[in-house]
Amino acid sequence: MKYVLVTGGVVSGLGKGVTASSIGVVLKACGLRVTSIKIDPYLNTDAGTMSPFEHGEVFVLDDGGEVDLDLGNYERFLDVTLTRDNNITTGKIYQSVLEKERRGDYLGKTVQVVPHITDAIKNWIEAVSVVPVDGKEGPADVCVIELGGTVGDIESMPFIEALRQLFFSVGQDNFCLIHVSLVPVIGVVGEQCVFVCVCAHARVQKTKPTQHSVRELRALGLTPHLLACRSAQPLLENTKQKLSQFCHVPAGNILNIHDVPNIWHIPLLLRNQNAHDVILKQLDLHGVAAPPHLQEWTKRAETFDNLTNSVRIAMVGKYVGLTDSYLSVVKALLHACIACSLKPSVDWIAASDLEDESAKLTPEAHAAAWETLRNAACVLVPGGFGDRGIKGMILAAKYARENKVPYLGICLGMQISVIEFARSVVGLEKANSTEFDDQTPNPVVIFMPEGSRTHMGSTMRLGCRRTLFQTPDCVTAKLYHNSEYVDERHRHRYEVNPELIGILEEAGLKFVGKDESGKRMEILELPGHPFYVGVQFHPEFKSRPGRPSAPFLGLILSATGQLEAYLNQHQNGSL
C-alpha cells in the first residue's frame, strides 16, 4: 500500500480536508484506485455527540458511522463509500487498547503510549487502507490520510509518532508527506506606517509561520516532501524560493492553493502545478499511472463559474450561526442547482427569529427573518435536535403549505410538517413531538422503541435503510426514476406516530414511503401542493456532483417552475 499523509500547520481550518480530497481526485484521474482515512485526535469515540457549533455537521455513513464532515468531502470528491473505521479518533484507539488490556491480551505488560497506542494506530491504518471503498474487489493503490488539527498539538503527538514509525516501516517509496500551511499577507504596523507610501514591502507574503511549522514537524521525525501553501493570492516566486531554502523542500514541490471561485478548481490547481508528477515520483507509481484526465472536473468548475441566474432558498434552521453545521445540505443544494443551470442563493434564517417572542424581544431580526422567508422561492427545514426554534420552524412550514411555496423537510423538518398539519388542518391544537413535550395529549411524533434514553452515542436509528414507495404515482418516486424503493441514510430517535397515520391521511397528508415493516413513515407528500415533501432520512449524505439527490432536485425544479416538465420528460423516457 502507498500512503499520502496530509498534515497541517500554523492554524486550523486551512482546508486540509478539501486538499486531501483534491489530491485523491488527481490520483484517481491518473487511473489509480484511492481510499481515505481521517484522523481526529479528540477523545470522543466519534462525532455523534458533538454540537454542530463545536465541530460542524455530523456526517453519517452507510454503516451508521457518525463521523467528521471531512469524510463527506472524501465521498463527494472521490465517489466512494467509506465506513466508520475510515475515521480514527483518540477515543477509538484508547478504547480498543483498554479493551485488550482488560482481556489480558498484553500478557501482564505495562501498557504505554509507546508502543501500545502507536501500534494500535499503525495496525488500524494498515487494516483499513486495504478495505475496498469503490465497489471493486481488492485493495486500493493509494490511501490518503488526513491528520486533523495542527502540528504541535499535544493531543496529536501519539499519531505523529505512529505515522513516523509507519513511514519507517513501509519505506521511502511507499510514503509521501504533504504539509498544508498558511502564507499570510500582513501590512505594516507601528512606526512603519509612516512609510507605507514609499515602502515596497508594505504588504508581503510572510513565510515565517510555515518555516516554524515545518521545523516543528521535522523535530518530530517527519520531513514533508511537498508543501501546500494556502494564500489569498498566488505565491510570488521569491516567496517560493525562500520557503524552499528554509524548509528543505524543492521549489518545484511547493504547491500554492490560493483562493478560487469554487472548490472544484482545487484539483485543477494541483494538476496545473504538476502535483501528481511529484507524488507519483515519490511513490514510484509513474509506471502504472497515466496522465490525469480531469475533463469532467474542468467542465464542472467552468460551468459553475459561468452561471448567472440564481434561485433563493430559505434555510430555516437551528444552527445557522455556523454554516458548516449544514455542510452536506448546502452541497446537495449546489449539486441540484447546477443540474438546473442555477447558482444557489441560500438565505439563512434562524428559526427562533420567526417566532412571536422574537417580535417583542428583537423586532428588527423578526421582521428581517419574515421578509427573507417571503422573498424566497422555496423553503428547506433541515435536521436538528432539541426544542429551540421549533415554533419558528412550524411557522415556516405553515407559511410554505398555505402559500404553495415549495417545501422540503429533512428528518426534523419532516416531523415539523406533520406537527403543523396536525395542528392547523386536523385540528389537534396541542399536537407535538414527545421530544418537545412528553405530556402532549396528541403525540404525533414519538420516541422510537429501540432507542436509548440513557446513552446518547450511537443509540439512534443510524445508517442506510430501505424505504419502499407505497405508490408509483407520487412525485418522490418519479424523482427517484420510478424505483420501487430507495436506500438512504438515517439519523434520528423520533418517528411519526404510526397510530395517528389514519387521521392524518384522511385529512389529506399522504405517506408515500415507508420502511420494510410498513409501520415507520419515511416520506410524506401533500397532494395539490406544487412541492410539499418531508423525508425522515438524510438524502444530502448521498448527493454527488453530477448526481444530485432526488428530493433536493425536486425542490429546486419546483422553485423554478420546471418540475412538471421534468417529470413529464422523465415519464416519456426523454431523460
> One fold for both 2-186+205-237+249-302 and 308-571?
yes
pLDDT for the residue 244: 94
Q: How confident is the model at residue 449 (pLDDT cuts 50, 70, 90)?
A: confident
Asked if 445 contacts 419 with a C-beta cutoff of 8 angstroms, the reply is yes
Residue 194 has pLDDT above 60, yes or no: no
Asked if 558 contacts 342 with a C-beta cutoff of 8 angstroms, the reply is no
538 classed as catalytic: yes
Mean pLDDT of the chain: 92
Active-site option among 30, 411, 420, 495 = 411
Within 10 A of 237 (CB to CB), how many other CB atoms are there? 9
pLDDT for the residue 448: 81
The DSSP output letter for 354 is G
CA nearest 98: which of 138, 43, 145, 136? 43
pLDDT for the residue 195: 44
Domain 2-186+205-237+249-302 is found in CATH 3.40.50.2300: no
pLDDT for the residue 570: 74
- Tell me the three state secondary structure of residue 364: helix
pLDDT for the residue 427: 94
The DSSP output letter for 499 is G
- Tell me the three state secondary structure of residue 244: helix
Q: For the segment 469-520, what is each residue's pLDDT rounded down to a tens digit? A: 999 999 999 999 999 999 999 999 999 999 999 999 999 999 999 999 999 9
pLDDT for the residue 458: 59
How is 176-207 classified by DSSP, letter by letter?
EEEEEEE--EEE--GGGGGGTTT-TTSEEE--
pLDDT for the residue 457: 60
Mean pLDDT of 20-26: 97
pLDDT for the residue 197: 45
Q: How confident is the model at residue 196 (pLDDT cuts 50, 70, 90)?
A: very low
Asked if 554 contacts 567 with a C-beta cutoff of 8 angstroms, the reply is no
pLDDT for the residue 451: 60
Active-site option among 57, 146, 420, 540 = 540
Greater model confidence, 10 or 173: 173
Q: How confident is the model at residue 453 (pLDDT cuts 50, 70, 90)?
A: low
Domain at 308-571, CATH class: alpha beta
Active-site option among 276, 335, 529, 538 = 538
pLDDT for the residue 569: 84
411 classed as catalytic: yes
Of all residues in the chain, the percent with pLDDT exceeding 70 is 95
Q: For the segment 336-368, what is each residue's pLDDT rounded down to a tens digit? A: 999 999 999 999 999 999 999 999 999 999 999
Q: How confident is the model at residue 13 (pLDDT cuts 50, 70, 90)?
A: confident
Q: How confident is the model at residue 372 (pLDDT cuts 50, 70, 90)?
A: very high
Q: For the segment 125-148, what is each residue's pLDDT rounded down to a tens digit? A: 999 999 999 999 999 999 999 999
490 classed as catalytic: no
Asked if 232 contacts 258 with a C-beta cutoff of 8 angstroms, the reply is yes
pLDDT for the residue 198: 44
Mean pLDDT of 42-50: 90
Q: How confident is the model at residue 49 (pLDDT cuts 50, 70, 90)?
A: confident
Within 10 A of 186 (CB to CB), how many other CB atoms are there? 10
Asked if 520 contacts 467 with a C-beta cutoff of 8 angstroms, the reply is no
Domain ranges for the chain, please list them.
2-186+205-237+249-302, 308-571
The DSSP output letter for 234 is P
